[in-house]
Amino acid sequence: MLKFIAKRLANYVVMLFVAVSFTYFMASAFMHPRSVYESRTPRPPQDSIERTLDLANLNDRTPVLERYWNWLTAIVTRWDWGKSPTLESVNSAIAPRVLASTELVTLSTVLSIVLGVALGIYTAQRQYKWQDRMFMVTGTLFMVIPSAVLALLIVLMAIAVNDTVGFRMFYVTGLSSYTGDDIGLRLLDFLQHIILPTISLTLLGMVGYHLTQRTYLLDELHADYVRTARMKGLTRRQAVRRHALRASLIPTGVNVAFSIASVFTGAVITESIFAINGLGRYFITAINQSDINASVAIAAFGGVCTLTGALLADIFSAWLDPRIKMS
Amino acid sequence: MSEASVSANASAPKAAPESKEGKKEVKHLSYGALIARRFFRQPSAVVGVVLLAILVLFALFGSSIAQWGYDEPDFLSLSGAPSSSHWLGTDPGGSDLYALVVHGLGKSLLIGVITSVATMAIAAIYGTAIAFFGGWVERIGMWILDCLLVVPSFLLIAMLVRAANATAGWIWLVIGLTAFGWVGYARIIRTMTLSLRERDYVKAAHFMGVGSFKIILRHLVPNLASLIIINTVLGVVGAVNSETALSFLGVGIKPPDTSLGSILQTGQSTIQTAPWILLAPSVVLILLCFSMQLIGDGLRDALDPNSAAGGKVGA
């Protein structure tokens, strides 16, 4: 088992290195931090532009390989992910934003897993009945609806509710606005902020679990061993709970392992609609300011999260299914 | 199980006399006609087709009944509510929202369809090729696919599109969405090809000296046609979603051009003062994606020989 994990881990580290390097070269080819200064009015003196770009290791007159080497050695030796074109450190900008993203996404991830799987189990046992059809239609709707549309419609509804009740029940921007010391009020304030983005993320996230769990459980419900269990005298409920459900939770578990990664990278659209300063919003700011180092750092962080999820999924499925270790 | 057998028994006596009386000639149905019949038998698929047809007609001819062009703002009505001269109201710049939605729908459809077709073409050829050649080609090919999946593709697309499209416009959006959108599909298609490459007719073609690429294009890709068609239709939903997201974030389509995503972006800033700006593109987007999904699901059932869309015996 340890050898299997070590082999996978080594492969993932190489992959991450190649992918992040590729991202660095792509970002360097397509982003022009020089334009940030050249488009300013009044235009800064040429020497000052060159000096700033040199300091940030972003000068496009330096060969890209040299810049890449400087960037790489800084990361390996000092864990320094570089500077933005305005010479702010990327390291110190990322940490608080990861925290904000985590705050935002954790609750909705847990909710979408629990609600989605529960709904999948419920509908699978009522295949083609009206409950199944109804949830299927609403599920399909939430699967195809662009996340921006859903979030904006939720904001619209919340504003209407606020207008009707006459005071601010829901806040539509940020994660907190209370500045006092009272714990209860602070919690209430946090809930008032977090509830709308959580609803929007949960509705979008639970569809995947609902539909896949329904399919997995339906596959198992028609398997021979479930019929055998029924014939041995188990009630339908017992057969489902003790046999079919357990087997059908394995692939869902793998999916859950993958989705843990997305907790830290946040949700770009939701963050920008609800004005939450998370990693996703930071990324959009970064590419709009031609901030090569920040964009690559975010991409690298995303890559680490993806591969951690993949490794978790590997371990999880190897632990449950001994055949995988052999191959 | 038991329900199915009961209903089969019940319908058997009813069906029997009919088949005796009507000694009709057995009509030959071409494969296409069979699929079409199975497709249109499903009410949800028909609803999808009708919705999509209306939207396409709206995108093509909607501008001819409009009183305003999408690029001629009416400065006397900024953020105006829906009225007789501006059917859906106007945005803060005075542009007629009806004209904007018609134009944006056309652009979103165009981008969605082109991206989806291009994505699936690349994925089909790459996926079948690496599975067909096997060995080290497959290993390296898969490794490249995994590598491209490491960094979230949305980030790469946003980077490429934002940087490149300042001058070239929506073509770059299509290129960006295609360049990083095909990876997941290629993996699926490779898995499907693994069983196909062992089939006798593929081996026979190989031993007769047919070139590898001819085998891929003549034998492997057509055998995956149903999967590819379904994924192309459903891929439109994904492409429209990505396009909306990028344009909404201000990274995709830029003014003066417009798409449904960029109208949403305008609408977000005026959500409290002029909510109608938000509603029209939202409704159109939901209808577009929903109809595509219904059509895709309908096609899947029509092309799947085991599905219930085959109808009952005799039909």
What's B75-130 look like in SS3? CCCCCCCCCCCCCCCECCCCCEHHHHHHHHHHHHHHHHHHHHHHHHHHHHHHHHHH
- Tell me, yes or no, whether A190 lies in a domain: no
- Tell me, yes or no, whether A230 lies in a domain: yes
The total number of structural domains in chain A stands at 1
With cut-offs at 50, 70 and 90, classify the pLDDT of residue B287.
very high
Owning domain of residue A318: 91-148+195-326
Give how far B143 is from chain A: nearest CA, Å: 8
With cut-offs at 50, 70 and 90, classify the pLDDT of residue B17.
very low
CA distance A228 to A6: 40
Percent of chain B with pLDDT over 70: 87
Q: Cβ(B251)–Cβ(A287) under 8 Å?
A: yes
- Tell me, yes or no, whether A320 lies in a domain: yes
> Tell me: the pLDDT tens digits for B101-123?
898 899 899 999 999 999 999 99
Residue whose pair of structure tokens reads 């360049």 in the numeric block: B179
On the 0-12 / 13-18 / 19+ scale of CB atoms within 10 A, B44 is middle
CA distance B242 to B244: 5
With cut-offs at 50, 70 and 90, classify the pLDDT of residue B306.
low
Q: Which residues of A touch B187 (CB under 8 A)?
A: none
- Tell me, yes or no, whether A84 lies in a domain: no
- Which pair of tokens denotes residue B13? 């006596």
Asked if A299's CB is within 8 angstroms of B152's CB, the reply is yes
Mean pLDDT of chain A: 87
Q: Does A307 touch chain B (CB under 8 A)?
A: yes
What per-residue confidence (pLDDT) applies to B93?
76
Q: Cβ(A242)–Cβ(A229) under 8 Å?
A: yes
**Over its length of 327 residues, how does chain A's per-residue pLDDT go in tens digits?**
788 889 889 999 999 999 999 999 988 888 888 887 877 778 888 888 888 888 888 888 888 898 999 999 988 898 888 888 888 888 888 888 888 888 888 889 999 999 999 999 999 998 888 999 899 989 988 988 888 899 999 998 998 898 888 888 888 888 777 777 788 888 888 888 889 999 999 999 899 999 999 989 998 888 898 999 999 999 988 999 888 888 888 888 888 888 877 777 768 888 888 888 888 889 888 888 888 899 999 999 989 988 988 888 888 877 776 665 555
Give how far B22 is from chain A: nearest CA, Å: 33
- pLDDT average, residue stretch B291-309: 81
Q: Does B47 touch chain A (CB under 8 A)?
A: no
What per-residue confidence (pLDDT) applies to A321?
67
- Which pair of tokens denotes residue B175? 């290129």
- Tell me, yes or no, whether A117 lies in a domain: yes
The partner residue sitting opposite B156, judged by closest CB among A18, A26, A147, is: A26
pLDDT > 80? residue B84: no
Among A100, A267, A143, A138, residue whose Cα is nearest residue B248:
A267
CATH of the domain at A215: 1.10.3720.10
Q: What is the pTM of this model?
A: 0.84
> Tell me: the pLDDT tens digits for B53-72?
999 998 888 888 777 777 77
CA distance B94 to B99: 11
On the 0-12 / 13-18 / 19+ scale of CB atoms within 10 A, A24 is buried
The answer, yes or no, to whether the previous bond of B17 is cis (omega within 30 of 0) is: no
Q: Looking at chain A from residue 27 to 56, which residues have their Cβ under 8 Å from any Cβ of chain B? A: 27, 30-32
> Tell me: the pLDDT tens digits for B200-230?
988 899 899 998 889 988 888 888 888 888 8
Q: Which residues of B touch A140 (CB under 8 A)?
A: 290, 293-294, 297
The CATH code of domain B30-312 reads 1.10.3720.10
CA distance A191 to A103: 11
